[in-house]
């Protein structure tokens, strides 16, 4: 079959399965299988596709119809202009998180601590955008840090990014007595009673501990905000990504913990997405 025929059939299959943006996903998966950039896929669509590759493509489309995320099928996800390795052990980096990146980059920093770094997308993006900065990422999950190590090497940041295993600040061992200009986090913020409302791609395929605190969705913020003082340099900034209903509760926590200039930042859709405060 020609690429165009495969693509049309796959788009129909994904549409029938209720997959949002079926055509886009089919194109991404076909480009991955054919090893061509997505933007150049149109050029090769008139050509016959090798039968072995056809089998691979159809198998991936069947998995996508079962709501396995595209990033898990092709192994990468684009974030802030860079490709990051993604596995079921890490949260898929999302476009909304770029709001946190933009807010962090709005002022200078020389050192950054990323709490719950997962696959490292936030930490490694910030260091890539600030070539003179150094940083540390912490995470409770050993498999997640394995993905972060891979991404760190792919971006050539071994000399500037340290990765430590453990919960929040406790992961910082005795080597890390210094304070940071910037502390960032995208912690698990989905309340337990909201989990069933998530898309199957997220609910069934992403690491649960990165999604929910199994409670009211605010427990991670309580720990992050309560523990910042020894680690945030004078004048430094603490920034966290939030769910759209959490702006005011998290801002209140920050003010009560002694942070100044607390503000809530909206994403491109106008939803509360980041809360920031300064020491």
141, 174, 176, 142: which is closest to 161 by C-alpha?
176
Whole-structure pTM value = 0.85
Between these two residues, 162 and 199, which has the higher pLDDT value? 162
Same domain, 93 and 192: yes
Q: Does the pLDDT value for residue 174 go beyond 70?
A: no
From CA 249, how far away is CA 253, in angstroms rounded? Answer: 6
Where in the sequence is the domain holding 235, given as residue range(s)? 77-278
Residue 5, number of CB atoms within 10 A of its CB: 13
pLDDT tens string 201-210: 777 777 787 7
Confidence tier at 200 by pLDDT (50, 70, 90): confident
Per the domain annotation, does 71 fall within a domain?
Answer: no
Same domain, 105 and 61: no
pLDDT tens string 83-101: 999 888 888 888 899 999 9
Residue 209, number of CB atoms within 10 A of its CB: 15
Per the domain annotation, does 232 fall within a domain?
Answer: yes
Same domain, 53 and 82: no
What are the strands, taking DSSP E only, across the chain?
A: 76-79, 82-85, 111-115, 134-139, 161-165, 180-185, 232-241, 260-266, 272-278
Same domain, 146 and 268: yes
Same domain, 252 and 138: yes
pLDDT, averaged across the chain: 91
Same domain, 148 and 238: yes
From CA 44, how far away is CA 182, in angstroms rounded? Answer: 46
pLDDT at 175: 58
Per the domain annotation, does 72 fall within a domain?
Answer: no
pLDDT tens string 133-145: 999 999 999 999 9
């Amino acid at each position: 079959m020609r690429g165009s025929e495969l693509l049309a059939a796959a788009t129909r299959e994904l549409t029938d399965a209720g997959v949002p943006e079926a055509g886009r996903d089919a194109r991404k998966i076909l480009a991955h299988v054919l090893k061509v950039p997505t933007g150049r896929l149109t050029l090769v669509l008139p050509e016959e596709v090798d039968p072995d590759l056809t089998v691979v493509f159809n198998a991936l489309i069947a998995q996508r119809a079962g709501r396995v995320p595209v990033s898990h099928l092709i192994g990468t996800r684009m974030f802030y202009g860079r490709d990051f390795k993604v596995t079921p052990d890490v949260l898929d980096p999302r476009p909304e998180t770029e709001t946190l990146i933009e807010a962090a980059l709005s002022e200078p920093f020389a050192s950054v601590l990323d709490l719950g770094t997962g696959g490292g997308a936030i930490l490694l993006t910030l260091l890539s955008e600030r070539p003179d900065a150094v940083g540390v990422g912490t995470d409770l999950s050993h498999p997640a840090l394995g993905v972060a190590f891979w991404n760190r090497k792919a971006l050539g940041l071994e000399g500037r990014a340290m990765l430590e295993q453990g919960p929040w600040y406790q992961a910082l061992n005795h080597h890390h007595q210094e304070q940071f200009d910037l502390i960032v986090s995208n912690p698990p913020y989905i309340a337990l009673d909201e989990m069933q409302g998530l898309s199957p791609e997220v609910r069934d395929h992403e690491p649960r501990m990165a999604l929910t605190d199994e409670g009211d969705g605010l427990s991670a913020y309580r720990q992050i905000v309560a523990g910042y003082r020894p680690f945030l340099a004078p004048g430094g900034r603490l920034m966290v990504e939030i769910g759209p209903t959490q702006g005011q509760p998290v801002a209140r926590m920050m003010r009560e913990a002694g942070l100044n200039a607390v503000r809530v930042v909206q994403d491109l859709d106008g939803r509360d997405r980041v809360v920031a405060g300064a020491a």
